[in-house]
Amino acid sequence: MNKEMWFICVVFSTSLATSINVSKFPKDFMFGTSTASYQIEGAWNEDGKGENIWDKVTHRVPSPVIDNSTGDIACDSYHKYKEDVAMLKYLGVTHYRFSLSWSRILPTGFNNKINSLGIAYYKNLIKELRANNIEPLVTIFHWDTPQPLENLGGWTNELITDRYADYAKVVFENFGDHVKYWLTFNEPKQTCNGGYGNMQRAPLVDSPGIGEYLCTHNVLKAHAKAWHLYDKQFRTTQKGKVGITMDTVWLEPDTNSSKDVDASERGQQFVHGWYARPLTLGDYPEIMKKVIAERSTLQGFSQSRLPQFTKDEITYLKGTLDYLGLNYYTTFMVRDSNDEKIDDISYEADANINAYQKEEWPKSTTPWLRVVPWGLRKILNWIKITYGDIPILITENGVSDDGSSTEDDTRVDYYQQHLSSLKDAMDDGVNVFGFTAWSLMDNYEWLQGYSEHFGLYRVDFSSSNRTRTPKKSAKYLKNVIQYRCVLGNSTCDK
């Protein structure tokens, strides 16, 4: 090796070494993996399950799904949950995050009829997890609204807030003795903005600028109802915690001009403040109230498209989070948008930011997902500064590939860099008590069908067995968990 090459090697390896945080995760830190009912269970019409909005949308002809596929069978976890738990056991996880299918428990969406076979399925899963020393972390709702409720307007109709509370009551009564961690909703922004605004999620209702605000208003009320119900009737006996999971992105200002910095902060408030602020401080962010009211007036509406909470509602919402779940995948650069787009009635035009991703950031097979590990540290610090020292659980993090190989080095790198960035945030003083990888296995990726693979395990969707095979990333995560070290071995610092 000549002198010059040696120099390059040393510089390169020291910069790599300093960029990876090699301090150990705390002893009680929770490591787990995540899934969601519609994406893995299958058995869409078995044992008394009712129809939900994803059943409805994926059965449409022509199909809105990229590969015309459905979640009718998916990973067949309804029949193969014991295999799933064996995989979790192999990984050595402390917890498993899964979601309940509302329509499997209450086939009509209402509590007039409780499906005992649906209850039995989740009881068996929880029992199997406990028998293997794995803490169940239960998402009560991960996007799959019962179709009979959607027929009445779904999340845009306030009726659903009481129906959600009825459902949560059945859930706490039946499973609460064995569950300590609850999440009321997964990524309500996807349900509301995707489901009623920009047509990216079921029920694919085209009501931009109005539907997503009504939806969010009701989701927040439903969350608070479930939290208060738990607090009053179940907390003392069941001793669990109730949180919510938000989807997060970091929005990095494109330049340090005050316009771009303001655009970044406004974007954060529209994405995260929309949910986190009402549940911590009681009401929507001031900037959202102001911008949407002004634009609504200019557009000829006699009142703001953003609904208002009453004083009583503000008190009722405030402080209804025992912990905060965050899903982090990627980051965007943001610029101020000079165009006010007054004729455009939509959430995106209200937020009015220009977001883009840098070409140099590594791609995945998901168009919006480029690999930007440092964004995780930044969003965690922003959440702490903005909403106070709330305990945080990372409920999802992961990357997609084309699924062609189980030697998934890009996923190993992704996890190593994100766990390192997470540890940086913890060293900064952010109170994070656990990390959950998305996903335990390849599964049904919503309107992308089976074209995107996020799993630590490969699933062979062409075999009736839905054979599961561990990828390189599964072995890596197993070692991380065993040694509490991002290097996946015993060399991390104490």
Which residues of the shown chain bind ligand PNW in the complex (CB under 6 A)? 36, 39, 186-187, 190, 247, 249, 327, 329-330, 368, 396, 438, 445, 454
Catalytic annotation, pick one of 187, 265, 348, 452: 187
> In the structure encoding, which two tokens stand for residue 372, read together?
């930007």
Q: Contact 225/164 with Cβ under 8 angstroms?
A: yes
Q: Which CB sits closer to ligand PNW, 189 or 377?
A: 189
Q: What is the DSSP letter of 461?
A: T
CB of 448 to ligand PNW, least distance (A): 8
d(CA 380, CA 23): 18
Q: Which CB sits closer to ligand PNW, 39 or 416?
A: 39
CB of 190 to ligand PNW, least distance (A): 5
Q: Which CB sits closer to ligand PNW, 128 or 247?
A: 247
Residue with the closest Cβ to ligand PNW? 247
d(CA 218, CA 157): 7
Please name the residue that has the structure tokens 């299958």. 42
Q: Which CB sits closer to ligand PNW, 157 or 365?
A: 365
Q: For residue 192, how far is the Cα from the chain centroid?
A: 13
d(CA 243, CA 236): 17
Q: For residue 22, how far is the Cα from the chain centroid?
A: 27
Catalytic annotation, pick one of 51, 265, 396, 452: 396
CB of 34 to ligand PNW, least distance (A): 8
User: H helices then E strands: how many in the chain?
Assistant: 20, 11
Q: What is the DSSP letter of 328?
A: E
Q: Which CB sits closer to ligand PNW, 350 or 445?
A: 445
Q: Contact 191/143 with Cβ under 8 angstroms?
A: yes
388: left (phi over 0), alpha (psi -120 to 50) or beta: left
CB of 183 to ligand PNW, least distance (A): 11
Active site residue 396: yes
CB of 438 to ligand PNW, least distance (A): 6
> In the structure encoding, which two tokens stand for residue 75, read together?
């990973």
CB of 400 to ligand PNW, least distance (A): 7
Q: Which CB sits closer to ligand PNW, 51 or 445?
A: 445
Residues 6+ positions from 10 with CB-CB distance below 8 Å: none
Distance (Å) of CA 480 to CA 73, 164, 421, 472, 476: 32, 38, 15, 13, 6
Q: Which residues are catalytic?
A: 187, 396
